[in-house]
Amino acid sequence: MDGLAAAEWYRACRAPVPDIIVSGGAGVRTFLDRGYVREMLDRAGVVYVAMENEKSHKTQEKTDTAHQKQIDKLQALGSNVIAWHPPVSAKDIADAWAAGALPDAHDPLAHMRQQEPKGSSNAAAAARVFPARTSSTPVP
């Protein structure tokens, strides 16, 4: 549902729909080994990993750890990565879309900047930007 919600979000804002890859879950990374996925990643200036807001702290830690492994592998492949978080009122992109809680797709990080701690104007801190690694050390 998240992939469909992201596409509808961009269409509703009359923004070009980005390439969307649905991994099958936070713990799934094998899709990154496919040639056509690598081609999409090579064309992308930035790769967004859609995070989730889980119900329990334990589940949130587990999901965040799994997403971090995805981010690490994407970085190792040369991608600049942004960890995109849904608004705090929603579990994921699909929930946020259904609730009408997503920002304009021309500025998909707007809600994250609004949720930053007072006195901070660092969008990168709110978005958790992970630049591509320059090392050739493989990440499993």
In sequence order, the 6+-apart residues with CB closer than 8 A to the CB of 84 are: 48, 49, 50, 51, 108, 109, 112, 127
Stretch 32-48: mean pLDDT, rounded? 92
- Could you tell me if residue 57 is inside a domain? yes
Domain that holds residue 37: 2-130
Better-scored residue on pLDDT, 139 or 5:
5
CA–CA distance, 83 with 129 (Å, rounded to integer): 6
Which residues fall within 8 angstroms of residue 92, CB to CB, at 6 or more apart?
2, 50, 52, 53, 86
Asked, for residue 21, whether it belongs to a domain, the answer is yes
In a domain, 138, yes or no: no
What is the structure's pLDDT at 23? Answer: 80
Question: Structurally, how many domains does the chain consist of?
Answer: 1
Per-residue model confidence as pLDDT tens digits over 64-110 = 999 999 999 999 999 999 998 999 899 998 999 899 888 888 888 88
Residue 136 maps to a domain: no
Backbone angles phi, psi at 102, to 5 degrees: -90, 145
In a domain, 140, yes or no: no
